[in-house]
Structure 1
Amino acid sequence: MNEKLNVLLVDDEELARDLLKSYLKGHEKVQLIGECENGFEGVQKINELKPDLVFLDIQMPKITGFEMLQLLDHKPEIIFTTAYDQYALKAFEINAIDYLLKPFSKERMCAAIDKVVERRGQAQEQSQRISRLSEYADEEYLDRVVVKDRHRIHIIPIEQIRYIESMDDYVLIYTDEGRQMKQNTMKFFESHLDPHEFIRIHRSYIVRVSQIEEIQQYEKESYVVILKDKTKLKVSKSGYKNLKEALDF
């Protein structure tokens, strides 16, 4: 395949971007199409320019590299570049192409690019691999959720979430300020929210424990949860079991 890879750099350190640009200059397999100094700009540029490959730093101001991946409409291949080796295993768990630990050599970068070229023809594997990138959080339990709403990015602290509702491949996140839609699964949130603070009460609902005001029976073995704002949410049999265990009644 002779077509060049369109490459974008996302890194808050100018020196790191300059080093990568010097390494990429003249590389026969790539074409640099832009650079970004933070994750917000990265989301905009990736969705606009649709690069084949992104060199992505992990620890950046405002939002992390992992959080940025969750906001993308266009899903490029990812090579992580970072000074922190504790993220290496996590990066490979979500099937990033490679993980470059700063400072890295030009030869090491070229070897990573070769991996991208090798995998480009494997469309199904690529699709499965990239879909996992947006299902990852870089912490055991989330302390915030990053949501893209058209051209705006919202950072929602976990303590502001009242409940989460499933909507096919998306979820609706409810706060006192309203609701936001995010492309994640309920399984993702169930595994990344502190179980002492949130309970899965139904296949469609995860609720913050502190928001529960009452559990009400309306039919035999059928219950609803009533939140402090009087919102009523259905409770499944397994959800009722989860409530009993969590609230000890």
Structure 2
Amino acid sequence: MIRAMIVEDEQPAADRLQTLLEEQDDLEVIGVYASGREAAEAIELLQPDLLFLDVQLSDISGLDVLKLISHKPAVVFTTAYDQYAIEAFELRAIDYLLKPFSRERLLEAVERVKEHVRDKEDSVHRLQELLANWQPQQPFLRRIPSKIGDRIYILNDDDIVYFGTENKLVFAHLTDKKYLINYTLEELQSRLDPEKFFRIHRSTIVNLNYVKTIESWFGGGYKMTVKDKANSELIISRAAGKQLRQKLGW
């Protein structure tokens, strides 16, 4: 339901406008005011969705009314003069009705307002969905703990050559040692810096800073040699190979 307010100092014009608006099932007239200053106070208090605003009022102009209020409803100006049209649209009026206007012209303005309200509601709904689904980005994983016996070793991500699975366990491989860690590869893939780490196989995530060579392998895949003491060779799946070629530009 659109809550509308009329600000019009000519009583016959106000009565006619109210009658025409009350024919609309989805529009409710919540107030009719002849004074611009009184209307400004009522707008702040009642916060209508829509304002039918005469430009020339007995105390202050309709344009001045808008400058007095912090609440910003949709506005349709009504006036017998067209010299205010440019300033009205600069104040983001939805429409500008020149008196005397027909019922059809008023309904056209009302339809524009309804479209404006629908667009606004859609924008709010989309924003609410985004906020509901938004989750703050976790910082990249930089330090990875590894518990061996009663000791906990803290591994720096820059020192890890690759992560690999063995018998469903995940190990962090350094240049000369490997450490058991309590992360799955899926967790690591989502938490590690993607500019540094890349999943080359369902069982391997490699630190790209330690890549030594890449060469073609069986079945359209590739084989990678890394810069550890053993010059370890790691298999790159065909799908990962295509992505890696795009990432590294080769």
TM class, shorter-length: 0.3 to 0.5
Give the alignment's TM-score, normalised by structure 1: 0.47
Which structure carries more relative contact order (alpha carbon 8 Å, separation 6+)?
1
Give the alignment's TM-score, normalised by structure 2: 0.47
Larger Rg: 2
